[in-house]
Amino acid sequence: MQLEDYFNFLAPDDIRIKGSRIGIETVLYDYIYRSRTPEEIAQTYTSITLEQVYATILYYLHNKEAVSNYIADWLEWGYQQRKAQEMNPSPAIIRIRKIKQEREAMKQGTGCSNI
């Protein structure tokens, strides 16, 4: 079995672990940025095996520059999505913010610290 056989290459920016909907970025983020062990990762994502977790890490180690760019692009995309959500909040978020502002105004107007 080749290392690439563990993955579905759906698009240049979408590599999934075969037999699951989990992208390699999910496993690698936990491994690289959260310093989680392969065993911890496999316990968290029960739709993949420990072997698949190790294969993902090995794929990263064999293709470090390309996969690092892949992860950087994924992180940037996530940042842009959060930024867009902040700039264009849903009606529910607008309502929650309004209620929060009203409560803060009531606290300041009455001198109460708890409401």
Residue 49 resides in a domain: yes
CA end-to-end span of the chain, whole Å? 62
The angle at the Cα of 7, spanning 69 to 38, to the nearest 5 degrees, equals: 75
What tokens does 35 get? 């310093």
pLDDT, tens digit, 9 for 90 and up, residues 11-70: 999 999 999 999 999 999 999 999 999 999 999 999 999 999 999 999 999 999 999 999
Question: At residue 50, what is the residue type?
Answer: L
Residue 115 resides in a domain: no
- Which range is least confidently modeled, 34-48, 67-81, 84-98? 84-98
Give the range of the structural domain holding residue 54, as residue numbers without chain letter.
3-110
Integer Cα distance of 82 and 88 in angstroms: 10
C-alpha distances (whole Å) from 67 to each of 16, 29, 97 are 13, 11, 39
Domain count across the chain? 1
Stated as kind and residue range, the H or E segment containing 7 is strand 7-11
Residue 81 resides in a domain: yes
Residue 55 resides in a domain: yes
Residue 103 resides in a domain: yes
* pTM, entire model: 0.73
